[in-house]
Amino acid sequence: MIRRATIADTLHVATLGHKFIEAAQMPAATIEHCIDFCARALSSDQCGCFVSDGGVILGVLSGLYYRPDYLQVSELFWWAEDGMGKALLAALEDWGREMGAKEINMSTLDYFTHKKIETLLEVRGYELREKTFRKNLGA
């Protein structure tokens, strides 16, 4: 079952988000960092977060920097250990439509994202629009 996350789900969302960070070898974060972020996100009406027993997807609604009236959803993390990934994605898409978003942006990590995820996104109508390059500044 997929449902919208509430502040009461902070630990569940943070735990799954932390698993994503570790599995994707993102810059390290403690579970406390994740709990703090998730509590703030879940308190915002600009955050769409949906959960299942073993999955989560979290996105934020915002206008384009040069056109604030053009709303979009940007996914921050998506992790599903229970096979509910497609349903979580559909819930975020539905929320975005309800909030008046014109588009949704899903991120993938070239070194981590399985080809099946890219295919799933393409089948659902997503198209590759941007690549991100990252440089460690040693700070």
**Ranges of residues in the chain whose predicted pLDDT is under 50:** none
Q: How many domains does the chain have?
A: 1
Inside any domain, residue 119: yes
What is the pLDDT at residue 112? Answer: 65
Inside any domain, residue 106: yes
Residue 53 contacts residue 115 (beta carbons within 8 Å)? no
What is the pLDDT at residue 7? Answer: 98
Inside any domain, residue 22: yes
Residue 14 contacts residue 37 (beta carbons within 8 Å)? yes
What is the pLDDT at residue 90? Answer: 97
- Domain with residue 26: its CATH number is 3.40.630.30
Which token pair is 81?
């250990």
What is the pLDDT at residue 136? Answer: 77
The parent domain of residue 87 ranges over 3-123
What is the pLDDT at residue 113? Answer: 66
